[in-house]
């Protein structure tokens, strides 16, 4: 994961945390990626794959998704593929499929935080091999997401590993990140949070300044009841 580019004399004292899918990106990067790998010929039953993805997307928004099963499903087309081969495809994917769908308002807000000297972090329920290059592309200081398991030869096994960055897992991954980085956060950083999903309520409740971005119905109702800003970047 990339770290802040600030010099020791300019260490940030504030942090802005952004969700990715439907927050910075108009759509879901995993769904877009599956369309990409189908077009690459890495999947034979493309329509069945997308139908299952749509079904799991409904479960995600309902808060009933089995995340381990979902991650195994999305990693399926990569089993046995070399990390470098996948990385090359992901870089092309970010340039050609993701970049045109980034929401300008969200990217500008992230850059505004950076201009103010705030650290910026993308935390997403999507997989790290997709999230990290997108976070780097938009200029975030770092990215947290579930890691894919690789075998001794650097090939995808189809299994996720480590903390799953979903619901409370986002905060668990964030706590682990803090423990591994000398950020000064414990001294009292001011925090902002941006997400579209009720699944991210633990994260939004954690930060000082929560924002609902293109919120789903449950998050919109919560934001309205609590007086949180509602942003529409789509």
CB atoms within 10 A of CB 22: 22
159 backbone dihedrals φ, ψ, rounded to 5°? -110, 140
Q: Which two tokens stand for residue 187?
A: 């001294």
Q: How far apart are CA 199 and CA 166, in angstroms?
A: 7
Cβ contacts of residue 132 below 8 Å, gap of 6+?
Answer: 1, 2, 143, 145
Annotated catalytic residue 196:
no
Distance from chain centroid for Cα 31: 13
Annotated catalytic residue 21:
yes
CA proximity to 22, closest of 194, 144, 220:
194
Q: Is 8 left (phi over 0), alpha (psi -120 to 50) or beta?
A: alpha
Task: Concatenate the DSSP letters of all residues of 133-197 into one string.
Answer: HHHHHHT-SEEEEEEEEE-TTSBEEEEEES---STHHHHHHHHHHHHHS---GGGT-EEEEEES-
Active site residues: 19, 21
């Amino acid at each position: 994961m990339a770290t802040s580019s600030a010099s020791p004399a300019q260490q940030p004292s504030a942090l802005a945390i952004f969700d990715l899918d439907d927050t910075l990106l108009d759509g879901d990067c995993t769904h877009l990626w599956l369309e990409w790998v189908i077009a690459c010929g890495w999947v034979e039953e493309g329509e069945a794959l997308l139908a299952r993805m749509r079904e799991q997307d409904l479960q995600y928004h309902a808060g009933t998704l089995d995340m381990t099963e979902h991650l195994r499903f999305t990693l399926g087309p990569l089993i046995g593929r070399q990390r470098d081969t996948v990385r090359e495809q992901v870089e092309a994917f970010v340039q050609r499929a993701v970049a045109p769908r980034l929401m300008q308002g969200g990217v500008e807000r992230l850059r505004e935080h950076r201009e103010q000297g705030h650290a910026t972090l993308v935390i997403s329920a999507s997989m790290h091999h997709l999230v990290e290059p997108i976070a780097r592309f938009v200029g975030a200081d770092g990215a947290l997401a579930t890691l894919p398991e690789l075998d001794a030869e650097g090939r995808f096994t189809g299994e996720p590993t480590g903390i799953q960055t979903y619901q409370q897992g986002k905060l668990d991954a964030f706590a682990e990140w803090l423990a591994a980085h000398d950020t000064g956060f414990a001294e009292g950083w001011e925090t902002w949070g941006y997400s579209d999903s009720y699944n991210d309520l633990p994260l939004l409740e954690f930060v000082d300044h929560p924002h609902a971005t293109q919120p789903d119905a449950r998050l919109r109702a919560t934001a309205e009841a609590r007086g949180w800003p509602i942003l529409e970047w789509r």
